[in-house]
Amino acid sequence: MNLLKWIKILKNIKTPDTKKGNASFLLILSLLWGFTLTTYADVYFHDFPDDGTRELAYSAESYQEHYAKSLDYNMHVSTPGYIRKSITNKRLYDHADGKHLVVGSYSYKWIEGNPYETGDPLHFCINGSNKAFFTIQLNDGIVAYTRDGRFRISHTNHLVTLSGNFPVLGEEGPIIVPYRGDYTITRHGNFYIDEVLIDKFKITIFKNFDDMNRHLDNANATFFTLNEPIDTLSGDKHYNILQGFISHSNAFRSNDSWYYRSSQTAGIRSLYMLIDGRRTLFNALN
């Protein structure tokens, strides 16, 4: 993603509503520590000799990424519309310098979360072969996509997201609710008040998962933006909408964070032992 666009999104986006407390605070500290490690490791680890040292260093970093992923699962297991990440370790060969490294490769599990009934007439759940999203508008006109269908009516009579108060887009632009009444919606997104058609939800259905993994960037836990246009599908046959339901998180409570943290710690200790041993040998020979 273009750096300036990413900075603009981060300035405009609001933190999704999640449980707050000491656990969240510790999680944020852990993630900040992890991202700092990754930033400097990309420069430092690449200069290690390709005799096992560099692979060991990158492996330790990969375990740290798995650890952060597990913490993320636990934090957002109850966040509606959350889509979990998957990380796999890949061994790469750099033809330029003939060296190897092991890195974590990210992708998303686009599986829709289970529908959960709330009974709220402004709560919606979308089902669309794991490729369909509600379309919303962030500040400065940035278009985003979400499965968090918890909406409300703002003081300006706009239908907005509960998390962040961002306008929900219809076929005619941001959906405006001119008056209060009985809200009903058809399975294909036609929005009615007292049997009067107001607008139709703008539903975005992407064509394939490969493009989604390459070009959808998460602005926060439940909002995604495109870094470049990709193919979409059109037509009501590709999705259905449930009123009075929300899409639950597709994450699960992870109990393996201790394993990844222990593996990372063991890798770092082995790395230091290897470096110290070579330093001792070097000093003895010189």
pLDDT digits (tens, 9 = 90+) for 140-190: 999 999 999 999 999 999 999 999 999 999 999 999 999 999 999 999 999
Q: Which pLDDT does position 18 carry in this prediction?
A: 40
End-to-end, the C-alpha distance of the chain in Å comes to 49
- For the cut 60, the answer to whether the pLDDT of residue 196 exceeds it is yes
> Residues 203-231: what's their mean pLDDT?
94
More confident residue, 4 or 173: 173
> Residues 190-205: what's their mean pLDDT?
97
pTM score: 0.68
- For the cut 70, the answer to whether the pLDDT of residue 78 exceeds it is yes
- 40-74 CB burial, b ≥16 within 10 A, e <16: eeeeebeebeeeeebbbbbbbbbbbbbbbbbbbbb
pLDDT averaged over every residue in the chain: 77
CA distance 245 to 114: 10
Sign of the CA dihedral with 201 first, then 207, 212, and 214 last: negative
Q: Which pLDDT does position 180 carry in this prediction?
A: 92
